[in-house]
Amino acid sequence: MADKRMFSLKIVDSDLFLDMPLSSQCLYFHLSMRADDDGFVNNPKKIIKIIGANEDDLKILIAKGFVIVFERGIIVITHWKINNFIRKDRYKPTLYENEVQSLSQTKNGMYIKEVGCHLVDQRLTSGQPSIDKGRLDKVSIDKGREESTPPPNSKNMENIKTLSLQTNNTRHYKKSYKVIPTR
């Protein structure tokens, strides 16, 4: 664990952060100071007791998305990679490999907890479109149209009615509806 940590104004100067109670803000700083080089803290309850905060402050940090909690009680600072850059020669990987594997990162470095299974596009594309055997060809579709409805002519065009809808404003909207005669 390092003796020095950094904080980005993009995070701690945001309205989301500043809207939290001072005790929650203080807890965030203390958790960040005691985190390992990947942003993981294995003793958040101890830190809460040391600084005189309470469990509600941690719940606020979780609800606002500043920390992610794991089943074993370990937490990670969500914006760790935004706040801190650690040189490769000083970096020590975290001991919590299982927790690291359950996280992903956004483009800007924010941790996100992966929940459930991943959505996978199951369509295989080989560059050629697949053709279903049950698909109808164009000839059979045209035959079906001829039998069911006649093509538009002047007689059917007479069945088109125009409705004028008026709103509370003085605007007028016109919609056309085709009336299909029943047999």
pLDDT of residue 160: 47
Instruction: Give the pLDDT confidence of 92-103 residue by residue, as tens digits.
Output: 988 998 898 988
Q: Sign of torsion, CA 78 81 86 87? A: positive
Instruction: Give the pLDDT confidence of 149-181 residue by residue, as tens digits.
Output: 555 555 544 444 433 333 344 444 455 555 566
Residue 31, pLDDT above cutoff 80: yes
Higher pLDDT, 115 or 172: 115
Q: Sign of torsion, CA 59 63 66 71? A: positive
Q: Residue 79: CB partners within 8 Å, gap ≥ 6?
A: 8, 11, 66, 109, 110, 111
What percent of the chain has pLDDT above 90?
Answer: 40
Region of poorest pLDDT, from 44-53, 114-123, 137-146, 169-178: 169-178
Q: What is the pTM of this model?
A: 0.61
* Interatomic CA distance for residues 81 and 78, integer angstroms: 8
* Interatomic CA distance for residues 183 and 113, integer angstroms: 60
List the domain boundaries for the chain: 9-113
Instruction: Read off the pLDDT of each residue in 48-63 and give the average, rounded to a whole number.
Output: 95
Is residue 32 within 8 Å of 111, Cβ to Cβ? Answer: no
Higher pLDDT, 143 or 67: 67
